[in-house]
């Protein structure tokens, strides 16, 4: 097995296929294409060329940074690939800093995946200091609104 970590986006088809494989929401082609195009940093994992995992960072290019689409195909899980994606991504974000600078990394854990993220320094919310993270899905339901 030749596993490679490449700091480039997967193709649109690869992205859609990986999302399907891990039961992430089906995105329209337009939304998926722009998600790849506008990401700040993407790492794709390939096994002999085949896309088998990825991670994306969305960013203002400076202070606020959001990690999303952390996924490894089910047949490749539990081999340390997700951990390596997280390690590389946190290291990369640190590499964007000058000495003494601080930025924030956000993520929204899927239910039950919190333990996966804790070794990389992420803290669950709410806690004694911080309120809960909050989110919503929004959908345009008709042609005119
Ligand atoms: C979450 C995910 C990326 C982990 O990838 P992976 O390659 O299987 O993870 P690793 O093999 O690198 O595991 C790293 C560590 O996290 C732990 N871990 C992995 N999956 C876990 C889970 N679901 N819950 C808790 N701990 C988990 C492992 O035990 C391992 O710890 P260890 O090194 O002490 O043994 C993968 O399960 C996945 O793609 N899931 C479906 C998509 C998803 O839910 N993504 C997260 C969205 S927030």
CA 75 – ligand 1 centroid, Å? 12
Amino acid 79: pLDDT:
97
Q: Which of 72, 107, 118 to mutate to test the pocket of ligand 1 (most atoms within 8 A of CB)?
A: 72
Q: Which residues contact 100 (CB under 8 A, 6 or more apart)?
A: none
- Count other C-beta atoms under 10 Å from residue 14's C-beta: 17
Instruction: Break the chain into its structural domains and give their ranges.
Output: 3-120
* Index of the ligand 1 atom closest to the CA of residue 78: 11
Strands ordered across the beta sheet of 41-47: 3-6, 41-47, 50-59, 64-72, 104-106
Amino acid 50: pLDDT:
98
Ordered per-residue pLDDT tens for the chain, 145 residues = 699 999 999 999 999 999 999 999 999 999 999 999 999 999 999 999 999 999 999 999 999 999 999 999 999 999 999 999 999 999 999 999 999 999 999 999 999 999 999 999 999 999 999 999 999 999 999 876 5
Cα 55 to Cα 60: distance, rounded to the nearest angstrom: 17
| Nearest alpha carbon, ligand 1 atom 8 | 77
Amino acid 142: pLDDT:
86
93-101 long-range contacts (CB < 8 A, ≥24 apart) are: 93/41, 93/57, 93/65
Domain covering 3-120 assigned CATH 3.40.50.800 in the classification: no
Structure tokens at 76: 């490749």
Nearest to 64 by CA among 105, 108, 92: 105
* Index of the ligand 1 atom closest to the CA of residue 76: 7
Amino acid 85: pLDDT:
98
Q: Which residues contact 88 (CB under 8 A, 6 or more apart)?
A: 5, 43
């Amino acid at each position: 097995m030749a596993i490679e970590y490449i700091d480039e986006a997967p193709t649109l088809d690869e992205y859609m296929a990986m999302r399907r494989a891990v039961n992430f929401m089906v995105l329209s082609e337009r939304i998926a294409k722009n998600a790849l195009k506008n990401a700040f940093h993407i790492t794709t994992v390939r096994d002999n060329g085949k896309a088998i995992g990825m991670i994306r960072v969305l960013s203002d290019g400076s202070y606020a940074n959001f990690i999303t689409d952390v996924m490894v195909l089910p047949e490749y899980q539990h081999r340390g690939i997700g951990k390596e994606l997280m390690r590389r991504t946190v290291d990369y974000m640190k590499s964007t800093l000058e000495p003494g600078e601080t930025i924030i990394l956000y993520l929204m854990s899927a239910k039950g995946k919190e333990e996966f993220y804790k070794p990389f320094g992420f803290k669950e919310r709410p806690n004694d200091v911080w309120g809960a993270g909050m989110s919503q899905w929004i959908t345009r339901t008709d042609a005119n609104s």
